[in-house]
Every structure is written in C-alpha cells, then in structure tokens.
A and B are shown apart, each in its own frame.
Chain A
Amino acid sequence: AQSVSQHNHHVILSEAASLELGCNYSYGGTVNLFWYVQYPGQHLQLLLKYFSGDPLVKGIKGFEAEFIKSKFSFNLRKPSVQWSDTAEYFCAVNAKDSNYQLIWGAGTKLIIKP
C-alpha cells in the first residue's frame, strides 16, 4: 500500500532562515505529488504540485519542491522564510493505480520566530 512519510513533525526557524521539509513516498508506479498548506484557522490550500515534466516545481509564496524519482522524494524548500509562513504543511500523493485517492503525510508544523 502507498504511504507518505514526513520526517519532521515540528520545525522551528527564525525569519530569513532557509527551509527544507522532507517528504518520501512508497510507491513504485507513476505518481502525482502535492504539497498543501494550512495556515492557522484557514483551509487546506495547494502550495504546489508535480504531475510530469521538470522535476523542480515552483509554487506560491516562493516555495519550490524537487521530485527525485530515485529517492522517492518530493522535498519542499524555501530559501528565506517569513513569519507568515507559520503553518502546517502536508505532503500528499496519488496515483492512477489506486484510483487517485490522495494519501497524506502526517504533516509538519512550522513555526517561524520573528
């Protein structure tokens, strides 16, 4: 069965620090990959997604993620975080073979100290 692992449950950074949140998935076939963000008190919203093509994808608010197929990874990065990036970040995967059900990681709570 597919699964998604997010390595860090909590991350605390200072403003202007660089961010990398890890995401690994277990599935051998073709997958679609997503990062969602949930700001305090708000909806889950899509940050970025990868379906095919350039493995380096850019999303909203300066975020990017790189799909490394050989490592089954889709890590989220941002070169310089802001206080407003404080949120919970979820990695999710779906695949045709599993009828495109979204399989979710446990989430990473990111706190940015001003």
Chain B
Amino acid sequence: EPEVTQTPSHQVTQMGQEVILRCVPISNHLYFYWYRQILGQKVEFLVSFYNNEISEKSEIFDDQFSVERPDGSNFTLKIRSTKLEDSAMYFCASSVQRFQETQYFGPGTRLLVL
C-alpha cells in the first residue's frame, strides 16, 4: 500500500539555522499538508498546498515558513531561522482531493532546536 514518507526522521539544529523537512506524498494525490505537534500539545494545521501554490495557511505559518514542490515527487517545508519554540513533530499528509477526503500521514520529523 502506498505511503507518505518523510525525511529525516529526526533533526537537531541550532537556533537561527535554516531547516528543510522533506516529504514524498502518495503519487496520485493532489493536496498536500503540513501539521505540527509540539510535545504535549494538540496537532496543529500549518498549511495546505495544491497546484503549486498555498491554498490555506494558519496563523502559525508566518514569514519564516515556506513550502515548495521542487519536483514531481517531493514536498518540502522550510523554516528560515529556527526558534526554540519551533521544536515539534512535523507531519506531512496528502489526499486525493480536498473536500471530504481522507488525509494520509507520514511518520513525522522530530525537530529539536537548541
């Protein structure tokens, strides 16, 4: 069964550094998402992406965040200048359509900012 994959599984970085989290969505899916979960808190929506542009974003997704689909398979989340509070598990998800559609999740990238 096709799966969403994410790399790396863990990343440790220094405050102020840039990080890029990578995701490979399921191949016939058209909508892509990033969520994050700070330890002990709820999963939070960050952004959704369709047809090479952002379709929705939350208040969390400020100017330090960006997303890109650089080729036909990868979907990346870039954090330009990491802060301590960016430490979280970041989940990528994809779905065939947006409306009334199940989102399939990757295993997550645990980001630790020191």
Binding between chains A and B? yes
Q: How large is the interface on B (under 10, 10 to 19, 20 to 34, 35 or more residues)?
A: 20 to 34
Is A101 in contact with B105, judged by CB distance below 8 angstroms?
no
Chain B residues lying within 8 Å of A70, measured Cβ to Cβ, are none
Q: Indicate whether B90 reaches chain A with its CB closer than 8 angstroms.
A: no
Assembled-state Cα–Cα distance A21/B21 (Å)? 33
Q: How large is the interface on A (under 10, 10 to 19, 20 to 34, 35 or more residues)?
A: 20 to 34
Residues A104 and B44 in contact in the complex (CB < 8 Å), given A43-B107, A99-B55, A99-B56: yes
Q: Indicate whether A32 reaches chain B with its CB closer than 8 angstroms.
A: yes
Interface residues of A (CB under 8 A from B): 32, 34, 36, 42-46, 49, 51, 90, 92, 96, 99-107
Interface residues of B (CB under 8 A from A): 3-4, 33, 35, 41-45, 48, 55-56, 58, 91, 98-100, 102-108
